[in-house]
Structure 1
Amino acid sequence: MNSSGSTKERILGAAEVLFAQRGFDGASLRQLTTAAGVNLAAVNYHFGSKDKLVEEVFRRRLDALNASRLAALAKVAGQADTTLEDVLAAYIRPALDLSHDGSGSLFMRVLARAFAEHDDTLRQFLSANYGHVMRQFTAEFARQLPQLSKPELYWRIDLVTGALTHAMSGFGMIQRKHDVSEQVHREQTAQHLIRFAVAGLSHP
């Protein structure tokens, strides 16, 4: 990796930590430059502004996550034998894989901050860049659940996403036991969440 690349990654890594700890407004550029060991000119050179830096923190994780989701969805969408469980697995499993990665788990706290702080600029960025992913999943959920009205389907998908975000955060009551591997715990989480989501989505 060249020095420009390593500087940019160092800034992104430091920003992710600070945003998780202090929120977007609470983390100052001065704190960021100190943590990353760079000057303000380097931040401006690579990102231009703090808002653009925030967007890049999200892009770095969400581009890969949503590429994995869409690849998994492409294997099952529109198929006659596809089940609701298949669609949910394509939506849930890539997210859990990210959240149980060491640095990915930190990003989950950043994502939680985004929900909590109601940042309109950030929400518009996420909608503009990743809204197409939810639209593709919603179309397949609608195919699986033709009995649901569009508003009811949206409510249920939103609640499933909330449950997924909670599971990804690792703050819930269910913590991994010392004698259970990370992989096994992730699989248990996926299985429980998919069963829960199937019940909620398909309930009359």
Structure 2
Amino acid sequence: MNHPASTKDRILAAAESLFAQRGFEGASLRQLTAAAGVNLAAVNYHFGSKERLVEEVFRRRLDALNQRRLAALARVAGRDDTTLEQVLDAFIRPALELSHDDHGALFMRVLARAFAEHDDRLRQFLSENYGHVIRQFTAEFAHLLPHLSKAELYWRIDLVTGALTHAMSGFGMIQRKGDVSESAHREQTVAHLVRFAAAGLSAP
């Protein structure tokens, strides 16, 4: 049995769609309430402000993503036979699985807007709420790559994250062929990106 979406969920869905289309500054609360079929009081009741609404749009996707990342990391980290490729797979695969989901693909456009608009408040929110995830992965990378200084390791992780963001956006040269399933294409992307990132991270 399908239950109707709650008012809060309708607002979040409408906000995600509008932010993807118009950016955070370009999407007005009037447009948002019209798209969600609610009044302004409902937005204020559930979120308090537009800034909090933006944060909740991110939290709705990133909480689940990073829980899956940390669970995958916990399965492979700290063992004598842990490989760099296994840790990278734990970081990369959940993100690419999200980006290939219909709702996730829309969120990728919201994420791209966040990068493009250089919103310091949003950057701080992401750092405070999800910085611990990258720190846990960085600790494992540091253990596996003892020849790298902390500064060099952070440079390389930043570049790997950029490559992952590019792959998630789906705007690259490599597009899925008609005779290749969505899941097979995702597996190809994961495999190529893990190999590429491992080579970049482990270089002298």
TM-score (norm 1): 0.97
Output the CA distance in 2 between the equivalents of 1:131 and 1:17: 26
Q: Deviations over 1:105-161 (max 9, x none)?
A: 110111111111110110111011000000000000001100000000000000000
Letter in 2 for 1:155: W
Letter in 1 for 2:142: A
Output the CA distance in 2 between the equivalents of 1:14 and 1:169: 20
Corresponding position of 1:96: 96
Output the CA distance in 1 between the equivalents of 2:88 and 2:7: 38
Corresponding position of 1:180: 180
| Structure 1 segment 37-56 matched on structure 2, within 5 A | 37-56=37-56
| Structure 1 segment 123-138 matched on structure 2, within 5 A | 123-138=123-138
- Tell me the SS of whatever aligns to 1:38: coil
Letter in 2 for 1:143: H
- Tell me the SS of whatever aligns to 1:154: helix
| Structure 1 segment 148-187 matched on structure 2, within 5 A | 148-187=148-187
Output the CA distance in 1 between the equivalents of 2:72 and 2:116: 29
| Structure 1 segment 75-90 matched on structure 2, within 5 A | 75-90=75-90
1:6 Cα offset (Å): 1.2
Output the CA distance in 2 between the equivalents of 1:179 and 1:187: 15
Letter in 1 for 2:152: E
1:2 Cα offset (Å): 7.5
Corresponding position of 2:8: 8
Letter in 1 for 2:68: S
- Tell me the SS of whatever aligns to 1:121: helix
Output the CA distance in 2 between the equivalents of 1:165 and 1:108: 8
- Tell me the SS of whatever aligns to 1:75: helix
Output the CA distance in 2 between the equivalents of 1:75 and 1:128: 25
Letter in 1 for 2:129: N
Q: Deviations over 1:56-111 (max 9, x none)?
A: 00000000000000000001111110000000000000000100000001101111
Output the CA distance in 2 between the equivalents of 1:109 and 1:140: 30
1:28 Cα offset (Å): 0.5
Corresponding position of 1:191: 191
Gaps of at least 5 residues in structure 2 are none
Output the CA distance in 2 between the equivalents of 1:155 and 1:18: 33
Change (3 A) 1:39 1:186: same
1:66 aligns with 2:66: yes
1:53 Cα offset (Å): 0.2
Letter in 1 for 2:203: H
Output the CA distance in 1 between the equivalents of 2:73 and 2:11: 33
Gaps of at least 5 residues in structure 1 are none
Letter in 2 for 1:72: A
Output the CA distance in 2 between the equivalents of 1:2 and 1:176: 34
Q: Percent identity?
A: 81
Output the CA distance in 1 between the equivalents of 2:19 and 2:73: 31
